[in-house]
Structure 1
Amino acid sequence: MSLAGLSINLATVRRQYNFAQAVDACLIQGITSIAPWRDQVEAIGLQEAVRIVEANKLRVTGLCRGGMFPAADKEGLAAAIDDNKRAIDEAAALHADCLVLVVGGLPAGSRDLPSARQMVTDGIAAILSYAREQKMPLAIEPLHPMYAADRACINTLEQALDVCDLLGEGVGVVVDVYHVWWDPRISGQIARAGAAGRILGHHVCDWLAPTRDLLLDRGMMGDGVIDLKAIRAAIEKSGYHGPQEVEIFSSENWWKRPGEEVLSTCAERYLTTCRL
């Protein structure tokens, strides 16, 4: 059965493979869409990463990640803006569908969450014209509220879409089930995002109960409590039919298994658990 709708976020096999090895392993499984992280690209070199993508006619469903805007001072914000412009260049070179933004949490020593969220809006606004020039969509990924302090102060699709509405063309959202499955407003916000053409990516994994580590114990699809097909149905109903990108951080399970086992399981679970 076709795996055309499956993408592998290379974090899923980051302990097993480097960029080139991960691509080869994906191709063996019949997977032709990937989403690398910037450190993985840097390790092999952007020019070589681009060569591999182009030679194998890969779809890059996103580059992870830009963002991390909130800063304790103007110098820190300026550094974040410069780094995000570099990330835009990298994403454009790789022909990525979007640059994924993990927006950042509270600056060091701060307790002012509204101010941090305003810094995020200001930061995205500061790079938006450059992203538009490069024809690179910016995809805000709202993260679960447990990450509000250190990783992302945008925690719901509603918050992310409010920023998109404020900033206009060129900004959208990633619907990552790990971060939004719990939200009682999710269905309405997915419909809102789809109606505005704001959905730029759909990430899948599963939420294990109990969870041993809030960052590094994501489950394989079907092993947890998320209704993956219901979320996908809402996403497709909203008009988005792009790939489902598997993104699993699993220090005590999947990162310890052979890479080929991980990828073959991703493929099997995509067909049986995720796809409508």
Structure 2
Amino acid sequence: MRKSIVAGNWKMNGSRSLVNEFFTLMDGVNKQAVEVVICPPACFISDFQGVDFALGGQTMSELDNGAHTGDISAEMLLELGCRYVIVGHSERREDHGETNDMVAAKAAKALAAGLTPIICVGESLQTREAGELESFIAAQLDALTATLSASQLAQAVIAYEPIWAIGTGKTASPEQAQQVHAFIRSHLAAFDSNAAASLPLLYGGSVNSANAQELFAQTDIDGGLIGGASLKVDEFRKVCQAAG
């Protein structure tokens, strides 16, 4: 049975006072039923020492430690206590020009170091309306399967984030989200059926306490990658409870 995961992506938000609020996050959350992950800005990761949920980075370099000003390596994230790292978020692809091949390389580097990558895929509204959703996402997935082995893929997490629903207040209907998650799983099954069946698939697109339960009830949705709602401890707790 696939495990449920709820990962909060704080993006470029937060403060030490907000960090302190999250030390009570797991009150009332079933830790056996759901894996909770917080991905704060890198400068706040060490402030979370001692919490009873997992930590993750928001990105990492596909390169080794060295002369790469401003980057953060997998080894650095591990030393800070991270178990997860987000790779290929749409904002990284858009703002920093990360290609499908770069994202695949980051995922491979994370796995080799012992981190679990949360690999983001998803389409813009223009791509969806042009009828190119499946071919667009297939290209993102194919870069992964060209780089990762089946056993590596089985250790990763995929997050589907419709770009048109990130931070806009718009959300794919549960049926729309399930349709894409089912496509992702079936496309990966052509590469390796066992890895595809066991791989956790998360939905990321304006998930909140009002819609989380219905989204997480879908057959191929195993949790969420949460943006804005992850910045409010009570709201995020409710999302986590919906997954458990």
Query: Which of these residues, 31, 39, 60, is aligned with residue 36 of structure 1?
Result: 39
CA distance in 2, matches of 1:86, 1:99: 13
Which AA in structure 1 matches 2:159? Answer: V
Q: Aligned with 1:141: secondary structure? A: strand
Which AA in structure 2 matches 1:105? Answer: E
Q: Check if 1:220 corresponds to 2:204.
A: no
Do 2:60 and 2:85's aligned partners in 1 also have CA atoms closer than 8 Å?
no
Structure 1: which 5+ residue stretches go unaligned?
Answer: 70-76, 108-115, 149-153, 206-217, 236-240
Q: Aligned with 1:266: secondary structure? A: helix
Q: 1:105 to 1:63 in 2, by over 3 A?
A: same
Higher relative CO (CA 8 A, sep ≥ 6), structure 1 or 2? 2
Do 2:84 and 2:117's aligned partners in 1 also have CA atoms closer than 8 Å?
no
Q: Aligned with 1:104: secondary structure? A: helix
CA distance in 1, matches of 2:159, 2:21: 24
Number of matched residues? 206
Superposed CA deviations along residues 125-177 of structure 1, whole A, max 9, x for unmatched, are 655664344123443201331498xxxxx995423211111112345552336
Q: Check if 1:249 corresponds to 2:228.
A: yes
Q: Aligned with 2:10: secondary structure? A: helix
Which residue matches 1:131? 110
Which residue matches 1:9? 8
Q: 1:164 to 1:247 in 2, by over 3 A?
A: same
Q: Aligned with 2:93: secondary structure? A: coil
Structure 2: which 5+ residue stretches go unaligned?
Answer: 128-133, 166-171
Q: Percent identity?
A: 7
Which AA in structure 2 matches 1:188? Answer: F
Q: Check if 1:187 corresponds to 2:173.
A: no
Query: Which of these residues, 57, 60, 75, is aligned with residue 63 of structure 1?
Result: 57
CA distance in 2, matches of 1:8, 1:106: 21
CA distance in 1, matches of 2:99, 2:125: 18
Query: Which of these residues, 86, 105, 109, is aligned with residue 72 of structure 2?
Result: 86
Which AA in structure 2 matches 1:187? Answer: A
CA distance in 1, matches of 2:68, 2:135: 24
Which residue matches 2:147? 167
Do 1:85 and 1:127's aligned partners in 2 also have CA atoms closer than 8 Å?
no
TM-aligned CA deviation for residue 262 of structure 1? 1.8
TM-aligned CA deviation for residue 24 of structure 1? 1.0
Do 2:202 and 2:224's aligned partners in 1 also have CA atoms closer than 8 Å?
yes
Q: 1:165 to 1:141 in 2, by over 3 A?
A: same
Which residue matches 1:208? none
Q: Give the alignment's TM-score, normalised by structure 1.
A: 0.53
Q: Aligned with 2:58: secondary structure? A: strand
Do 2:123 and 2:161's aligned partners in 1 also have CA atoms closer than 8 Å?
no
Q: Check if 1:176 corresponds to 2:160.
A: yes
